[in-house]
Structure 1
Amino acid sequence: MSRLSLNQKTTNSWSLREAIDGTVAAGLSSIGIWREPLAEAGLENARNWLADTGLRVSSLCRGGFFTAADPAQIEAAHADNLRAIDEAAAIGTDTLCLVPGGLPDGDRDLIGARSRAAEAIGRLVPYARERGIRLGIEPMNPIYAADRGVVSTLGQALDIAEQFGADEVGVVFDTFHVWWDPALREQILRAGERIYSYQICDWITPLPADTLLARGMMGDGHIDFGVITGWVTETGYSGDVEVEIFNADIWATPGEQVLATMTERYTELVEPYL
């Protein structure tokens, strides 16, 4: 399980300290951290806890939300993303996950919103490069195009990333968001060294009323993790595999139990194909 990482959102009820301790207790060597609990804990505390345990930070979630058209909102988003880059550097990860953002209120210009996201990412690149941080664009399932992610496919994310160096901008992709794409193998192979993070969880049906909480534990839904993981392996990817699950029932389950199930499913469904 040397490559299995707990994305902190999977045990959403845990504080950062609890998530770090739970990750170590489960025998894992890496964790994906979210900015909100990081802010609650404080950067200095987080650095000390990580150093004491020796945990690797697979990624920081999240920056992004670049699609505003109002100049003041554009500048506010830019400033927040600069802070996110600094936070990533402070906790020792080299990958900042970027969620592009949805359509601004009353805006139907999807193409324009994607263009603004690309421009905003380009503006961040020099600052991120100076601090050793790679910017990973996360394509979002099309059900979130209006409110969360105007970049819907791995191909669209790569169209943006390829405007920059392979060590500057790449992709963070989650099976939940991209499993349905008929061009997925082609785009995974195209991504190659631009794959900064591979995240996993399942697509379950029926979808809940709040589709943000629609992700399931691996093996509980419809995704063929062996096939997709095999394609990722073809690229030579050797990084961490993060389990990131948004699900009310899983969040209500004791974290230790979630980690036990997570490691069991990973060992059965994913690890043999790495």
Structure 2
Amino acid sequence: MRAADRFSFNHATAKFWDQREAVEACARAGVGIGLWREPVQEMGLEASAKLVQDAGVAVTSLCRGGFFTDPTPAAIDDNRRAIDEAAALGAPALVLVSGGIPAGGTIDGAREGVQEALSVLAPYAGERGVTLAIEPLHPMFASDRCVVTTIGEALDLAAPFPAEQVGVVVDTYHIWWDPQVWQGIARAGREGRIASFQFADWVTPLPAGVLTGRGQLGDGCIDFKRYLAEVDAAGFTGPIEVELFNDALWARPGAEVLAETKAAFERVVS
């Protein structure tokens, strides 16, 4: 398959676009979609599953589970529901953002909480045919959103579990800075743990709202062709989601954002 044909549109790139309209537009464009739990729940899980099935659109991931660095029963139950939602939607991967440091806690303790939660959730996911995809986030988010910051850390957390139960997300926005990233991608390939591949660019200077500062592909400093080559060499040739948290994009019509993002993707991979 040509790289340009692997494009999948993450719904968060047009966050306020009605889910039905987004799915139907992806069907017309012949591309997959990454879904988010909040719009799915708003429409209803059964209706959302019927929507994607009737449209013939592949759901490439569901986002997100996680936030279980303090693995309370409520957090575990919510992640079980997320796994069930992914299975109902036909999403092969549930993206996990681990969570930050609980009040009064430490980063070491938070990482231990991630391992504890995975030990409970991984078998449950495996029974339902869903891979838990641990997403490392940029270190600037470690305190409040994600104590897992590198592919190496994510792979170490995944190691005790079968690859079909726990894998990792290769998200260019979050890992481009890591001097060990190519070794990490190669290791993920050897271990069969690349569960999701996502593109977003890093622009400078960072906007005031860092969380919503992901750049359109080609507007920043990330070498997408190298990432594509390294991930392909690692054995992953599945869909590539473009996931952009960007206030300027969110203010525009979804159909326009989809067309622009697909064109930008084709430019950076060709």
Partner of 1:198: 197
The Cα of 1:148 is off from its aligned counterpart by 0.3
Show the 5 A alignment for 1:226-241: 226-241=225-240
Residue identity opposite 2:243 in structure 1: E
The residue aligned with 1:50 is 52
Aligned residue in 1 for 2:10: 7
Provide, for residues 119-143 of structure 1, a one-character-per-residue CA deviation record: whole Å limited to 9, x for no partner: 1011101111111111100000001
**Paired residues, what number?**
265
Per the normalisation by structure 2, the TM-score is 0.95
Query: Shift of the alpha carbon at 1:173?
Result: 2.2
SS at match of 1:185: helix
Contact 1:22/1:255 (8 A) holds in 2: no
Which of 53-62 and 251-260 deviates more?
A: 251-260
- State the 1:83 CA deviation: 0.2
d(CA) in 2 for partners of 1:166 and 1:143?
28
Q: How is 1:63-212 mapped onto 2 (pairs within 5 angstroms)?
A: 63-68=65-70, 74-107=72-105, 109-192=106-189, 193-212=192-211
1:136·1:196 contact (CA, 8 Å) conserved in 2? Answer: yes
Distance 1:2 1:91 in 2: 22
Distance 2:92 2:65 in 1: 13
Q: In structure 1, what residue type is equivalent to 2:39?
A: P
How far residue 194 of structure 1 moved from its aligned partner, in angstroms, is 0.5
CA distance in 1, matches of 2:252, 2:220: 18
Task: Report if the CA contact (8 A) 2:249-2:257 is conserved.
Answer: yes
C-alpha separation between the residues in 1 aligned to 2:36 and 2:30? Answer: 18
- Counterpart of 1:187, as a letter, is G
Regions of 4+ moved over 6 Å: none
Pairwise CA distance, 1:47: 1.5
* Preserved contact between residue 9 and residue 31 of structure 2 (Cα < 8 Å): no
Unaligned runs of 5+ residues in structure 1 are: none
The separation in 2 between residues aligned to 1:171 and 1:205, in whole angstroms, is 27
Q: Which residue of 1 aligns with 2:258?
A: 259
Task: Give SS of 1:2's match.
Answer: helix
RMSD: 1.1
Q: Does the CA-based 8 Å contact 2:17-2:253 persist in structure 1? A: no
How far 1:106 moved relative to its partner? 3.4
Amino acid in structure 2 at the alignment position of 1:67: T
Distance in 1 between residues matched to 2:185 and 2:123, nearest whole Å? 26
- Residue 163 of structure 1 deviates from its aligned partner by 1.3
Please tell me the residue identity of whatever aligns with 2:223: D
Listed as ranges, the gaps of 5+ residues in structure 2 are none
Aligned to 1:29: 31
- What letter is aligned with 1:51? Q
Structure 1 residue 236, shift from structure 2 partner: 1.5
State the TM-score, normalizing by the size of structure 1: 0.94
> Equivalents in 1 of 2:111, 2:193: separation in Å?
20
